[in-house]
Amino acid sequence: MSGQQPSQHKRLVAKLALVTLGMFGFGFAMVPLYRVFCEITGQGVWIATGPKESTTSAVDRSRLVTVEFVGSVNNNGPWSFRPTVDKMLVHPGELYTTTYRAENLRHSEATAQAVYSVVPVEATRHFGKPDCFCFTQQPFQPREAKDLKVTFYIDPALPKNVETVTLAYTFFDVTGQQAN
């Protein structure tokens, strides 16, 4: 029986090495897979890398869409973060500006970054943000509060059955991390 143990150990080590190699490869594949997911769904940080140009040619004054605003802090960190208005009625094709109020609750300098999502998913491709605080990291002094601006529009091609769109931000503490 003792002659079989070394070969069993070799097989086990080989299997563990393959699992480790597979996990390592999967880790590298996650970044491009996440990019593809974000491009398809319009969610996440890969979309939020810069301004989106308006492709609208005219404002649709015959239609109003409710835009709701939501703000949350990742892991309930040392921040206060909320929209300054809960919702707006907007005409598709027209630019609007609103703000989110953020405050560093620490007694030291800190940096934050926001990641957004748009719901329902079918509205994501029709929601443009030519200017957004989410495109860059936001430095804060101790106990500093700021109003962070976002300029947005709804494309008139938004499906007619979509009457309410939610723009949600999650605020992340990125103190000590390099800017993207």
Rounded to two decimals, the pTM is: 0.68
Please tell me the predicted confidence (pLDDT) of residue 75.
83
65-173 CATH fold? Ctag/Cox11 (Pfam 04442) (2.60.370)
Please tell me the predicted confidence (pLDDT) of residue 49.
37
**Residue in the structure block whose two tokens are 């080590």:** 13
Read off the tokens for 42.
Answer: 């319009």
10 Å Cβ neighbour count for 69? Answer: 20
Beta bridge partners of 79: 104
- The three-class DSSP label of residue 115 is strand
Read off the tokens for 123.
Answer: 């509205």
- Per-residue burial over 146-179, b if 16 or more Cβ lie within 10 Å, else e, is bebebebbbbbebeeeeeebbbbbbbbbbbeeee
Q: What gap in Å lies between CA 88 and CA 125, rounded to an integer?
A: 19
Least confident of 48-62, 79-93, 143-157, 162-176: 48-62
Domain boundaries, the chain: 1-41, 65-173
